[in-house]
Amino acid sequence: MNFVGAHIISVDQFDRAAADRVFEVADKMQPYAMRNRITRVLQGAILSNMFFEPSTRTRVSFGSAFNLLGGEVRETTEAKSSSLAKGESLYDTARVLSGYSDVIVMRHPDAGSVAKFAEASRVPVINGGDGPNEHPSQALLDLYTMRTEIAAQGQSIDGLSIALIGDLRYGRAVHSLCKLLCLYDNIRLHLISPQELALPGDIVALLKIAGHEVRQYTDMAEGIGGVDILYVTRTQEERFPSQQEADRYRGLFRLNQAIYTQNCAPNTVIMHPLPRDSRAQAQELDDDLNQNPNLAIFRQTDNGMLIRMALFALVLDVVDQVDNFAQPVTWFTDKRHG
């Protein structure tokens, strides 16, 4: 895969070498993300961060990643504060914005919208999530996290067993992750969801074609035993036809320390793309797991910064120049991982 000037729309664009390349560049970003030193390699470059759906992590980490490389960020966070609210097409918005910026990150509620936007853009576009469809940077950071977490246990992605828990129907993070896992060998997947929120059939088919073993469960305790990684997700309430329908699924699966201790091997890694729904009726990932050393959710968000820095460096072709623009940090900093 040639990253230079490319749009990053779907994990379908990646082969294993391309994913490895992103991970290799992400490793290189560590000293900058940890504020051991700074770099100005993207000084003068402008990112347009267009988020037409709620976002904390993806929006702020893409923005901060660009800042950490020395670039400037312009944000539009609501469709109603942009001309899309006046009936402007994605085509026109893309033509205009790409004249104002060097790269664009876009999140939009409609599947396929970011690809359509990218077709009209004169600069690279990175998909920050298009409806229930895809979330490629999340899948890359999830895989990078899995790799790092289980490397500590002497394992690799090949041969891994993973339980995916929750709303597998609408969860775009899960969709992109599953497709990316098809690049690896011999994975066992436990798909745990209510029947109505099962992983779409086309993605299950892809997993099987890749030679992975797929087992489906509606009972969480049964499905979480004997796996290396638990990947918990939130019910994607905003994607349901009505709130009433979404309410039916709230709180059906709740992972807490007691259930974990009872059913899982002691070093089972716990992940979640976040946000976790911490309202009393939901709590798919209980706060009582916060002190569990296997809870990787905040290492996962930290890794998001590395992956997003890597994507910008690759797409804007500055990977080999990052260190040439390095400077010492001038302020007090004591950032730790974890």
The nearest distance, CB 174 to ligand NCD, in angstroms, is 9
Contacts to ligand NCD from residues 82-141, by CB under 6 A: 129, 135, 138
Cα-to-chain-centroid distance, residue 191: 19
Indicate the residue among 135 and 169 with the shorter CB distance to ligand NCD. Answer: 135
Give min distance, CB of 209 to ligand NCD, in A.
25
Phi-psi region of 283 (alpha: psi -120 to 50; beta: other; left: phi over 0): left
**For ligand NCD, the closer CB: 39 or 301:** 301
Q: Which of 229, 234, 264, 306 binds ligand NCD (CB under 6 A)?
A: 234
Q: Least distance to ligand NCD from the beta carbon of 318, Å?
A: 25
Six-digit token string for 165: 């828990």
Closest distance between ligand NCD and the C-beta of residue 274, in Å? 5
Check if the beta carbon of residue 178 is closer than 8 Å to that of residue 206. yes
- Applying CB under 6 A, which of residues 63, 131, 136, 273 lies at the interface with ligand NCD? 273
Judged by CB, which is closer to ligand NCD: 190, or 234?
A: 234
Using the rule CB under 6 A, is 274 a contact of ligand NCD? yes
Distances (CA, A) of 215 to 163, 190, 226, 264, 314: 9, 5, 12, 17, 37
Q: Which is nearer to ligand NCD, 268 or 303 (CB)?
A: 303
Please state, in angstroms and rounded to a whole number, the distance separating the CA atoms of residues 13 and 139.
13
- Give the one residue of 108, 172, 179, 190 binding ligand NCD; rule: CB under 6 A: 172
Residue 175 makes contact with ligand NCD by CB under 6 A: no
Minimum Å gap between C-beta 54 and ligand NCD is 8
Cα dihedral 101→106→110→111 (10° resolution): 110
Among 125, 162, 173, 181, binds ligand NCD (CB under 6 A): 173
Min separation Cβ 163 and ligand NCD, Å:
17
3-state secondary structure of 17: helix
**DSSP characters over 29-90:** HHHHHTTSEEE-TTTT-EEEEEESS--SHHHHHHHHHHHHTT-EEEEE--GGGSGGGGT--H
Rule CB under 6 A: choose which of 10, 48, 49, 58 binds ligand NCD. 58
Considering only residues 278 through 337, tell me which ones interact with ligand NCD, judged by CB under 6 A: none
Q: Which amino acid is at 68?
A: L
Here the tokens at position 172 are: 């775009």
d(CA 203, CA 173): 13
Token pair recorded at residue 284: 């798919």
Instruction: Give every CB contact of residue 161 below 8 A, 6+ residues apart in sequence.
Output: 187, 188, 189, 190, 226, 227, 228, 229
How many residues line the site for ligand NCD (CB under 6 A)?
A: 11
Minimum separation from the CB atom of position 129 to ligand NCD (A): 5
Residue 16 or 248: the one with the smaller Cβ distance to ligand NCD is 248
> Rule CB under 6 A: which residues touch ligand NCD?
57-58, 129, 135, 138, 172-173, 234, 236, 273-274
